Structure 1
Amino acid sequence: MTITLARSHTIYSMKAVESAQERARALKSPELEAFYDNMLELGAERFVTTPSSTGALDPLYEDCPNFGEVLDDLTRYLGLSIAGGAGVNVMPVLLLGDPGVGKTHFGKRLAAVLGTEFEFISMNALSAGFVITGSSSTWKGAKCGKVAERLVRGKFANPVVLLDEVEKATGSTQSDPMSALYQLLEPETSRAFHDEFIDVDLDASQVFWVLTANSLDGIPPALLSRMAIYEIPTPTPDQAAGIARRVYVGLLRELKLQNMDEDLDDSVLDKLSEVSPREMRKALLDGLGYAVAAGRASLAPEDVRLKADPCKRKIGF
């Protein structure tokens, strides 16, 4: 049996927050002062979670079967953590693969099995730098970045933070998202992460970083050197069939359709293997509606009505 173990980790200095709050009062910034009030009320301690067994990752081998290489490495790192009684020491992970292979889904499932929180940040935006580091409190509409918000308002010091499409990151000279990553992806410098809005150092060294990209083009070599890179393949037909079965069974339980057959015919699986998991879920949900309306207890091929899109190529999980 696997349980989640948790220890306490200090995210910020309470004295530093009190000093910053005094500065906010002098600047007559009620929004910033309220944020510091919240930080003091929540306290500086957050949980760092570690599963008690490497078996915690076993469900991901079935749920994300095309992520075997990265899961093998994570299993070894988790084993080292359990043996030494320390936190999981993992380099930032870059998942490289075509759209639809399941990179974001993997990040969400990883957070779930680790017993921590998940934060999604799209890097395909002009304001990506501000989204990560926050904006100066002197600016109109200023607010903290997503990293600081997760660490301050969340319960965990080791959330899984997924940076999506990192190769498409853009920004201005005042807010270069890549410059923020140089600090955050290094264990030593991330211990004193400075959010522009909060103006208090935060310890982001426990964050589990997962980055996704469709290509290495546009990612600086110096940044790549800070990450473990994994090429994620499209699922094989057998893997896609397994994913479809799990999505289907999950829907039956979610909808409490106890009279429906839990097995899917091979002809149904063949049709579903052409679409992504998100499309699988919608296709199966619609198909169940057609089957129930027809008074059948099993899904037939004609129930799975995939919408043709001539501009869309086949994608995997």
Structure 2
Amino acid sequence: MSSTSLPVLFVADLVVLPGMVVSLELDEASRAAVDAANTGSEGRLLVAPRLDDRYASHGVIAKVERVGRFSSGGPAVVLKAEQRGRIGSGVSGPGAALWVEVEPVEDHVTERARELAEDYKRLVVAVLQRREAWQVIDQVHQMSDPSAIADAAGYAPYISAERKRELLEDTDVESRLETLIGWTRDHLAEAEVTDKIGEDVREGMERSQREFLLRQQLAAIRKELGEGEPEGADDYRARVEAAEVPDAVREALLREVDKLERSSDQSPETAWIRTWLDTVLELPWHVTTEDSTDIVAARGVLDADHHGLDEVKERIVEYLAVRARRAERGLQVVGGRGSGAVVLLAGPPGVGKTSLGESVAHALGREFVRVALGGVRDEAEIRGHRRTYVGALPGRIVRAIKEAGSMNPVVLLDEVDKIGADYRGDPAAALLEVLDPAQNHTFRDHYLELDLDLSDVLFIATANVVEQIPQALLDRMELVTLDGYTEDDKVAIARDFLLPRQLERAALTADEVTVSDAALREIAANYTREAGVRQMERFLAKALRKAAIRLASGAERVDVDLADLKDLVGRPRFTPEAPERTSVPGVATGLAVTGLGGDVLFIEASAHEGKAGLTLTGQLGDVMKESAQIALTFVRSHAAELGVDASFFDRAIHVHVPAGATPKDGPSAGITMVTALTSLASGRPVRSEVGMTGEVTLNGRVLPIGGLKQKLLAAQRNGITEVFVPLRNEPDLDDVPADVLEALTVNVVGDVLDVVRGALEPGTTGAAAAA
């Protein structure tokens, strides 16, 4: 059929199908369409739905039957829909209305369509019978045109506007009827389920009414006997019976409710029981969240939130992959042992340990709860207080589960190495049961006195110093070390994470302020000497605040480059000091690990006339004092091999480790002390670009040390280009970033004589130092 031009009337949240008669309130746009229809198209227009997502491709050609007003006084129009129309391109037409080309759509009725129409009529009659709409049923029986029967669904209240638009855009009668049959069958099935639920509810209400009557009679009997019943006991019993809790928990709850019913309002036990009942009922006993099984998406979330940290990300992805395979094979154990995981993230401050826990929860699709353990000294903070104490509360673990609202959240135990112990108990010992995958499926809080299944909780602990964690507790956790970032990592983190965050906090945009990579690298190299990026973020925030002042003073744009750093954040805080410190004999550069990450340690040796002996300063621990004694003995016993005059040891020798206010201890300074003493005795300075770490024995063997990755990162940050490390630490080099190994020359040594030969400047040997 040829197309025609018609004005368009868009109708919001309503779909008109052929055969329908509707009344619409007229606004300015719809009045223009109706006026245009009466003027230029013999009272005919196109009615098209306008839903939220898009405009429809089809509408319905309708006839303006009447223009008038509603009983409320508002203008209205009555339209009778006649035929589908396919909407074409826009055309010009009289009036202010929008005109379009409309191609009428003819319906083709087949024998198959007639059979489907009869099936659909029977379903519609079944729906109407449930509503006792007998007059409408008679009208349905009189309908015979399959197309009209399908389009009558426009009056059906159980079909949404989106589905009606599907019917409007479907030009095939058979397809429309098949779709409607499926929808109507689903609606009937849902209605039957609703009726069944309603019947069950009525039966339950009758049972509840009977119990209510009996309890009212029991209350009247108690009143006659002079036994008062505390108000609200029935409410607790009803809550317990309706709660989804394990059977053992329900029995314990009902026992407490019985006690509550027998207690008087004056009894202090009443308040304790009510508080306990509220706490237990609020726990999510049967609530769990579904883990995400998309490994690629989970890794994408972790990569988007954090730069680097590949080992941690790999561990989380492994955990996800195993859970997904267990779920696929039906091996998921309900309340099973060892189904959870305990990961310890250890590393210096500012490397992203705490924020990584939240990213893990996001990747898994779980709830996230943070439990701060720093400074906790009371065991009851973990296990809860006995209910006999006034103001008793459950422990932090139970409160974390309650806060999460599910039994399988990600619980971050922050700063687990800073737990203390005193007369109130040892919280670290109380954590043993919580973090043991073989025991925590029956964790018992002192307040609850009920078994709580923690086996599906993903515990993530964080710590700065692993050595401060008790060995028994450390044994229950899987250690993942975050040793800090390289200079390139810091620049990438600053560009991708820190700078956008600080721009937002300073109310600036990237068009107003830019920071070059060279400036970021300068801040990372010479303004900070940290393993993490906290101090770097503070410098960025300071630079952006200064930039905001410039913009407020009239500048259109601020570009932060190397030349601007001095004005914005001041002079560099750090410069390489190894060349200056090691320019004289007797000073060697060692590598150490502190609570703040890796650092360089200068060991100075001096000799003067006086009583022969060794003086140690610098607030050294027992281990470092022993290392100094061993180093002196080794140099004395191997004086000939080292080119040292034996008379050197008749002088008073002083070994000092600067920064005396900072306690220092650990088994990794032995070879540094040997090198410093040999340098002093031979008069040969230590090469300024050399750093070293390792313990030494009396016969000169170099013993392995810990924290090699952090020490090499510190060496790179401090401008050292060559390091000596113990031979038995060679496997640890696999964990060091490739760019760090490229920047350093790493010598693995087993004999301290090799260290001395490689570290000292070439020169005349002998008793030069004594001169």
Aligned to 1:40: 281
Instruction: Establish whether residue 248 from structure 1 lines up as the match of residue 499 from structure 2.
Output: yes
Q: Deviations over 1:31-51 (max 9, x none)?
A: 552352254256532223412
Matched to 1:297, the amino acid is R
TM-score under structure 1 length normalisation:
0.79
* Paired residue type of 2:429: S
Identical counterparts, % of pairs = 26
Distance 1:143 1:309, change over 3 A: farther
The alignment yields a C-alpha RMSD, in angstroms, of 3.6
Counterpart of 1:99 in structure 2 is: 349
Asked if structure 2 preserves the Cα contact closer than 8 Å seen for 1:117 and 1:156, the reply is: no
Aligned ranges 1:129-208 → 2 under 5 Å: 129-172=379-422, 175-208=425-458
Q: Which amino acid aligns with 1:305?
A: V
Q: How does 1:274-289 map to 2 (within 5 A)?
A: 274=528, 276-289=532-545
d(CA) in 2 for partners of 1:165, 1:293: 38
Q: Which of residues 554, 557, 578 in structure 2 aligns to 1:297?
A: 557
Aligned to 1:52: 293
Q: Which of 230, 237, 252 is the matching residue for 1:16?
A: 252
Distance 1:19 1:258 in 2: 62
Opposite residue 394 of structure 2, the aligned amino acid is C
Which of 371, 375, 390 lines up with 1:120 in the alignment? Answer: 371
Question: 1:187 corresponds to which letter in structure 2?
Answer: P
Distance 1:177 1:89, change over 3 A: same
Of stretches 98-107 and 87-96 in structure 1, the one that deviates more from structure 2 is 87-96
Larger radius of gyration: 2
Corresponding pairs, count? 306
Indicate the SS of the match to 1:36.
helix
Q: Work out the CA distance in 2 between the residues paired with 1:258 and 1:100.
A: 25
Correspondence for 1:84: 326
| SS in structure 2 of the partner of residue 82 of structure 1 | helix
SS in 1 for 2:397: helix
Structure 2: how far apart are the matches of 1:42 and 1:167?
29
Q: Could you tell me how far 1:103 is from its partner in structure 2?
A: 1.7
Q: Which residue type is aligned with residue 157 of structure 1?
A: M
Q: Which moved more, 1:257-266 or 1:196-205?
A: 257-266
Structure 2 CA distance for aligned equivalents of residues 153 and 14 of structure 1: 21
Amino acid at match of 1:19: R
Q: 2: distance between equivalents of 1:307 and 1:133?
A: 51
Query: Greater strand percent: which structure?
Result: 2
| Inter-partner Cα distance in structure 2 for 1:223 and 1:269 | 40
Instruction: Structure 1: state its 5+ residue gaps.
Output: 1-8
CA shift digits 1:3-49 (9 cap, x unpaired): xxxxxx97883443343455578562525523522542565322234
**Relative contact order (alpha carbons < 8 A, sep ≥ 6): 1 or 2 greater?**
1
CA distance in 2, matches of 1:111, 1:218: 27
> Which residue in the other structure is 2:186 paired with?
none
Secondary structure of the 2:437 match is coil
Runs of at least 5 residues in structure 2 that lack an aligned partner in the other structure:
1-243, 575-594, 599-709, 711-771
Amino acid in the other structure paired with 2:318: R
Match 1:260 to one of 492, 496, 511: 511
CA distance change for structure 1 residues 89 and 112 in 2, over 3 Å: closer, same or farther?
same
Q: Give the whole-Å Cα distance in 2 for the aligned partners of 1:76 and 1:108.
A: 18
* Amino acid paired to 2:440: S
SS at match of 2:370: strand
Name whichever of 9-18 and 116-125 sits farther off.
Answer: 9-18
- The answer as to whether partners of 1:24 and 1:30 remain within 8 angstroms in 2 is no
Q: What does residue 143 of structure 2 align with?
A: none
